[in-house]
Amino acid sequence: MPDPSAVFGREASSRPSRASLRTAVVWDVLKDALDRRVEATGKDSLDVLDTGGGSGNFAVPVARLGHRVTVVDPSPNALFALERRAAEAGVADLVTGVQGDIRGLFDVVGREEYDTVLCHGVLEYVDDPAEGVRNAAAALRPAGSLSLLAAGVGGAVLARALAGHFTEARHALDDPAGRWGAGDPVPRRFTAEQLTELADGAGLQVGSVHGVRVFADLVPGVLVDTEPGAAEALLKLEAAAAELSSFHAIATQLHVLGEKRA
């Protein structure tokens, strides 16, 4: 089994990469969830569905752990990049890209056929997030786990304010969709409560909520890149803050892990 830190571009002996600073919290929770499903099912290799998996940021590392991953995404370009990336990682046989979207998920995949479903960075873009989560949950086998990752409102408010865009920060604070204005490229953001309600409403027992990228997007890169040991220390700080509900309110992203009720 490959070293998961290396999977995300961090060699054991070197400084964590920028990408791993942003994904480490989610990866650690996801890796634990996969390990638990392996133990519970007795299968070495799980069936994993990555809805809106794009070019395989998570799908390819999950396949590198030996699991079979189906990526459903509407973008042909993303699926092309996924295919290339899976081939480069030597897991082309474990990764299947399918063009489709979460709304019509069951036009392209079966119900209750997956041990774990990922829905990362997708709910922001769909018209009906509740329907999206219900479909993701319906793809799970009983007791399967759903990994839900979406943009947090508070993180956007804080980021706009720290950049000096106070009116936009206030707009994001008041806007029901958490958008900072007409130029905001993200159509919708969530609070931790909204995400857990969506998971609960889709028949999932919420196991954990984590705040993701509480500090990583805010600190100047030069501090992280030049200070010896800074990146490692930031990684540890992110991991500690991720667990605390007080920091969920200002995280750039929120991660919810749920288990399908039997």
Residue 70 β-bridge partners: 49, 96
| CB-CB contact of 26 with 80 (8 Å) | no
By CB under 6 A, the residues from 166 to 205 that bind ligand SAM are none
CB atoms within 10 A of CB 209: 22
**What 3-state DSSP class applies to 165?**
coil
For residues 75-114, which are near ligand SAM according to CB under 6 A? 75, 78, 101-103
- CB contact set of 68 (below 8 Å; sequence gap of 6+): 45, 46, 47, 48, 94, 96
DSSP secondary structure letter of residue 152: B
The secondary structure of 199-242 as a DSSP string is HHHTTEEEEEEEEE-SSTTTS-HHHHHHSTTHHHHHHHHHHHHH
Q: Is 152 in the site for ligand SAM (CB under 6 A)?
A: no
146 makes contact with ligand SAM (CB under 6 A): no
- Which one among 16, 54, 152, 203 touches ligand SAM, defined by CB under 6 A? 54
Total residues at interface with ligand SAM (CB under 6 A): 18
In angstroms, give the least distance from the CB of 128 to ligand SAM.
10
As measured in angstroms, the least distance from the Cβ of 44 to ligand SAM is 25
Among 53, 144, 154, 258, indicate the residue that binds ligand SAM (CB under 6 A).
Answer: 53
Task: Establish if 120 lies at the interface with ligand SAM (CB under 6 A).
Answer: yes
Question: Is residue 125 a contact residue for ligand SAM (CB under 6 A)?
Answer: yes
Closest distance to ligand SAM from the beta carbon of 8 (Å): 12
Q: Does 58 bind ligand SAM (CB under 6 A)?
A: yes
Rounded to the nearest 10 degrees, what angle do helices 18-41 and 230-242 cross at? 50
Q: Structure tokens of 231?
A: 């990146």
Please choose, out of 31-39, 68-76, 81-89, 191-199, the segment that lies near ligand SAM by the rule CB under 6 A: 68-76
Instruction: Summarize as ranges the residues that interact with ligand SAM (CB under 6 A).
Output: 51-54, 57-58, 73-75, 78, 101-103, 120-122, 125-126
